[in-house]
A and B are shown apart, each in its own frame.
Chain A
Amino acid sequence: MNVLDIIKPENQVFCKSKLMTDTTLSYCPGCGHGTAHNLAMEVIDEMGISEDTIGVAPVGCSVLAYDFMNIDITQAAHGRAPAVATAIARTWPEKYVFTYQGDGDLAAIGTAETIHACNRGENIVIIFVNNGIYGMTGGQMAPTTLEGMRSSTSPYGREIESMGSPLKMTELVANLPGVHYVTRQAVHTHKHARKAKKAIKKAFENTRLKKGLSFVEIVSNCNSGWKMTPLESNIWMEENMFPYFPLGDIKVNGILK
């Protein structure tokens, strides 16, 4: 069987989602943002809800999400996406509203907006990409930077005494009654990516059923910020990020696991 016979259109079993534009992603080679974008768009496409979906982009590496996602998107001031999404969801109760945020956006400047949107149980999805660093601005320490982890603002490694411990925002919001579903996933291998996709789908299903807020954290890599190759960063992530930020469902159907 010659390859040309195999790659006939009728034999295609996977290709880029039509909800992803043709614009080249601005993300560094191997960055999990790209995969997370694609999984989210694949879910929205498969659920057939793109015409009623409104995204809210953060400030950070994924500020340009609206160049890559072929849906209506409002770009929010740094940290304010949950508030922006709240207002959209409140004035358009039938729409699917989601925020897509990084760790600086959601767990530093946007902490109050995150906690209060969760506490109000807004009927939205929050996709939280946690790569333990400020990528867009060039690798500064983030709320989720691990102890001892170097960054341009913790050049000798994060010291708990002076800089506090990495913030487990996902566990924090899981305790809020308004939050219906909380999970922590990853996207760097096919197993993780498939599970993450299921989780994102469950989140949007919760929106459809008006169950309240769904919070999907995706632990991801930042090869340029961590100063590693993509493959090294994924290994480092498994060995260092996952122990502190364990994967899996944390709250399902409003009940803590």
Chain B
Amino acid sequence: MAKVKGAIVVDTEACKGCEVCIPVCPEDVIGMTSTVNRKGYHYAYMNNPEACTGCTNCAIVCPDRAISVYRVKVSA
């Protein structure tokens, strides 16, 4: 059982669809939406939310700080 569960919240209007967050995610959680935001950018979302551990890798490399990260301990 995963000891930790994570999740990210993407500021969909701040995201510019650069995808720099995708390769740094150890669990391949992030994907790009097919829809676009007001500026016409595809934006990041949790394509595989179950796998997120809240490790903040994606958030640290996001140039626009569009990603907030949450993490919670999960009892065994």
Contact = CB atoms under 8 A, between A and B. Distances in A.
* Chain A in direct contact with chain B (Cβ < 8 angstroms): yes
Given A30-B18, A230-B18, A6 B68 contact: no
B7 A3 contact: yes
A60 interface: no
Nearest to B65: A16
B51 interface: no
A14 B61 contact: no
Given A6-B6, A30-B16, A12 B68 contact: yes
Interface string A30-48: 1111110010000000000
B9 A7 contact: yes
B18 A14 contact: no
A143 to B, nearest CB: 24
Interface in B1-24: 5-7, 9, 14, 16-20, 22-24
Interface string B37-67: 0000100001001000010111111111101
Given A7-B9, A190-B57, A13 B69 contact: yes
A234 B63 CA distance: 13
Nearest to A4: B7
A65 interface: no
A6 B20 contact: no
A29 B70 contact: no
B76 interface: no
A161 interface: no
A172 interface: no
A8 interface: yes
Interface residues of A, number: 37
Counting contact residues on chain B (CB < 8 A from A), the size range is 20 to 34
Contacts of B46: 3
Contacts of A30: 16, 18-20, 63
Contacts of B54: 6, 13
A11 B71 contact: yes
Nearest to B58: A190
A194 B60 contact: yes
B19 A231 contact: yes
Contacts of B62: 34-35
B59 to A, nearest CB: 5
Contact of A27 (B22, B24, B63, B71): B63
25 contacts: A1-B5, A6-B54, A7-B70, A11-B70, A11-B72, A12-B68, A13-B54, A13-B69, A14-B56, A14-B68, A15-B68, A17-B65, A25-B63, A29-B16, A30-B18, A31-B18, A34-B63, A34-B64, A35-B61, A35-B62, A38-B63, A188-B20, A190-B56, A193-B61, A229-B19
